[in-house]
Structure 1
């Protein structure tokens, strides 16, 4: 029976590349010359350091554009509060990885409401969808791509 998994993952290697590219952009930009600003990675989290809040917003835009270039959906990025530490301001960036139980339940409900002949079940931080026809599974994928969910979704482990 054909099946696939619905997941929400961020590849650590590509996220590191996006942060490194953003750090290189800061080094070469004229408006950041002599400014103590940088991105620091800690697993799938990052911290943005700058001297002023307006620089944080510019750095946030840099990070978003580099995430898009590295094929990571910016919806996976969650920004924390701006904190002041001495002469610097910092902001925490958390990448959403894995489906939360509320979102997984919402996805299962959407699939059931669509009246397609498929079964969906929550397995940890992913949702497995099985059906008799491959076309039904592709319709589920199209349905979820059109839906405006707060997290980017990937479809993997497609089996015939």
Structure 2
């Protein structure tokens, strides 16, 4: 028995036309990728002031309510960019600092954003000053730039822009690898990645 196929058959011309359209689509995609702008992100070191105030208020409330801080004159205050901790002994001042640091961690604030000094006597009390650090200084920016150049993917470019660092590449995967590299770096500054595009 012979089976006869009915219906339209495609000619060689039809196949060559489809192949032409496919190749044209691939070429257009490649032209678009070549002319495409680099993807980029900014590396910054910023502190959310509302979260800092919330952490300080929670620490102050805990210090006021805890039994071991009763009658020791323990207090936490924020003035500008300086957090001042007071207590009547050095040990109590350090304990208040521990409470503050635990509240920073619970609010997802990095302890690298605090520059804490040693306890010092002031009259009948001990004080600890802790300054909030924001921005990437030039030395740290150069260190990050060198780290990206030496250990990062080769297609990644970085550029210092004031107190930030702009990182760009054509490959988003390379940018993700650079973010992972910077997260694992031993830097004394809390880093955030913003404006990812």
What's the TM-score once normalised by structure 2's chain length? 0.78
8 Å contact from structure 1 (residues 46, 93) kept in 2: yes
Question: Cα deviation per residue 1:61-99 (whole Å; 9 max; x = unaligned)?
Answer: 101100011110112211123221111111110121110
Deviation at 1:56, TM superposition (A): 1.2
Which structure carries more relative contact order (alpha carbon 8 Å, separation 6+)?
Answer: 1
1:71 aligned onto 2:108 = yes
CA RMSD between the two structures: 1.0
CA distance in 2 between partners of 1:73 and 1:43 (Å) = 19
8 Å contact from structure 2 (residues 114, 133) kept in 1: yes
8 Å contact from structure 1 (residues 12, 43) kept in 2: no
CA distance in 1 between partners of 2:125 and 2:47 (Å) = 29
Deviation at 1:31, TM superposition (A): 0.7
8 Å contact from structure 1 (residues 15, 44) kept in 2: no
Deviation at 1:115, TM superposition (A): 4.8
1:83 aligned onto 2:120 = yes
- Residue 69 (structure 2) aligns with: 32
Q: Secondary structure at the match of 2:136?
A: coil
Q: Which runs of 5+ in 2 are unaligned?
A: 1-37
Q: How do 1:49-68 residues align onto structure 2 when only pairs under 5 Å count?
A: 49-68=86-105
Q: Which runs of 5+ in 1 are unaligned?
A: none
Larger helix proportion, structure 1 or 2? Answer: 2
Q: Secondary structure at the match of 1:10?
A: coil
Deviation at 1:36, TM superposition (A): 1.1
1:2 aligned onto 2:39 = yes
Q: How do 1:4-153 residues align onto structure 2 when only pairs under 5 Å count?
A: 4-116=41-153, 117-153=155-191
What's the TM-score once normalised by structure 1's chain length? 0.96
- Residue 4 (structure 2) aligns with: none
- Tell me which stretches of 4 or more aligned residues in structure 1 moved more than 4 Å: none
Change (3 A) 1:47 1:129: same
- Residue 5 (structure 2) aligns with: none
8 Å contact from structure 1 (residues 12, 44) kept in 2: no
Q: How many residue pairs get matched?
A: 159
